[in-house]
Amino acid sequence: MKRLGMLLVLVLCALLPARPTASAENVTLTALFMKQAAYSDADVRAMTAEFEKTHPGVKLSLEFVPYEALHDKIVASVAAGARGYDIVLFDVIWPAEFAENGVLLDLTNRIPKDVINAVWPGAWTTVLYQDRYYGLPWILDTKYLFYNKEMLSKAGLRTPPATWDELLRQARALKAKGVVSYPIVWSWSQAEAIVCDYTTLLAAFGGSFFEKGSPKFNTGGGQQALQYMVDSLNAGLSNPASRESLEEDVRRIFSAGQAAFALNWTYMYNMANDPKESRVAGKVGVVPSPGDAMHSKVSAVNGSMALGVMRTSKNPELAFQYAQALTSQAVQERYAKLSLPIWKASYSNPVVIKGQEALITAARQGLAAMYPRPLLVRYQEFSTILQTYLQKALLRQLSPKAALDAVANEAVQKRLK
């Protein structure tokens, strides 16, 4: 009788109309992306169109904002609840804040172990907080040293610098021979950009931000990093416009042939080598950010970004599927000229390597050395303070030591640890 009952149930289930899956319903997901660097608006829309084709009934409403507006847009979406975003692009510096405040969905149990093993370890730090994963890494990035091959040749320099001290020596040679007025350009505007450059130097000189909850950046390598920045300006080796420049300004100055060296993200390599975008196309070289003879072979800041599912999303599973599609190896390899893939195996794929061999070589070293900015729940507050005082030092309003001491004092008083 039991067997007969089970058989009847199975027959009835077979006769009933199939229940539509979530992807077959009329669903609109809202997604928030960044307007600048890496993938363009058009690229993201093309990736999204592919996803919509394989998910009938699902539409994506995309919004693109400048990086500087991204954080606040995500936070505001929480207050909007179900009317807010489903998927958001977020920075490596925000997981602690977003996890503690319930902004993003914990995706740990949705990510297979084989996927975790197939992706660069540094990429996972973009989404990791207290051993939980709050997103899927998407833009794997660090800063590289770009150089103008022709300018170096005119100054009799055969190879790009391997250390930060060597960079200054080569810059002096370029300036002395009249090759370029200001050999180096940086993104030192009072924004997150200056923190990224400072972190790169801090890592190179063996510094650290905090140790057992106490500030350490105002001593040792942290102090040496800011002193280096100030000295390069005072010596006329770094372009004074660096103090007002963001990454796109750096790209434009370098691409106009007004700098021999530039520190910037991956995306600049192919744009600076594009004749439509650059006057120095074909003359651009790239190496990992230099190291320091006493502490490091190369240096790198973790500038990666990820796709996260908002905790308030009404369609979290579909949102996760969309994030999976955009971060998939196949999609990333098709767009590898814009942003290098998060997948280890991609770096052996001829399609990825062709035309950017030097960048891939630099990436293999740089991605393995990525140093994080401090993982703080109130990181935004700390960063704003640090940006302010780094600028004060660059403008000669405070000595590097006094500026960093001021940041350390505020961090202690406000318990930003």
Handedness of CA 127, 131, 133, 134 (dihedral sign): negative
DSSP state of 104: B
Contact at 8 Å (CB) between 285 and 361?
A: no
Look-up of token digits 């001491």: 405
Q: CATH number of the domain at 144-301+378-413, out of 3.20.20.70, 3.40.50.720, 3.40.190.10, 3.30.160.100?
A: 3.40.190.10
| Tens-level pLDDT at each residue, the chain (417 residues) | 334 343 333 333 333 333 334 444 699 999 999 986 678 899 999 999 999 999 999 999 999 999 889 999 999 999 887 789 999 999 999 999 999 999 999 999 999 999 999 999 889 999 999 999 999 999 999 999 999 999 999 999 999 999 999 999 999 999 999 999 999 999 999 999 999 999 999 999 999 999 998 999 999 999 999 999 999 999 999 999 999 999 999 999 999 999 999 999 999 999 999 999 999 999 999 999 999 999 999 999 999 999 999 999 999 999 999 999 999 999 999 999 888 999 999 999 999 999 999 999 999 999 989 999 999 999 999 999 999 999 999 999 999 999 999 999 999 999 997
Written as one letter, the residue type at 293 is A
The domain made up of 27-141+303-371 has a fold known as: D-Maltodextrin-Binding Protein; domain 2 (3.40.190)
Among candidate residues 124, 164, 107, 106, the one with its CA nearest the CA of residue 288:
164
Query: DSSP H helical segments within 235-296, as ranges?
Result: 247-255, 268-272
* 204-242 per-residue burial string, b: 16 or more CB within 10 A, e: under 16: bbbbbbbeeeebbbbbebbbbbbbbbbebbeeebbbebb
Cα dihedral angle (123, 125, 127, 131), rounded to 10 degrees?
Answer: 130
Token pair of 261, please? 């060296």
Backbone phi and psi for residue 260, each to the nearest 5 degrees, phi listed first: -90, -25
Parallel/antiparallel/unpaired status of strands 305-309 and 87-91: antiparallel
Q: Rounded to two decimals, what is the model's pTM?
A: 0.86
> With pLDDT > 90 as the criterion, what percentage of the chain qualifies?
87
Residues of the chain with CATH 3.40.190.10: 27-141+303-371, 144-301+378-413
Query: What residue has token string 């950009």?
Result: 193
pLDDT at 36: 67
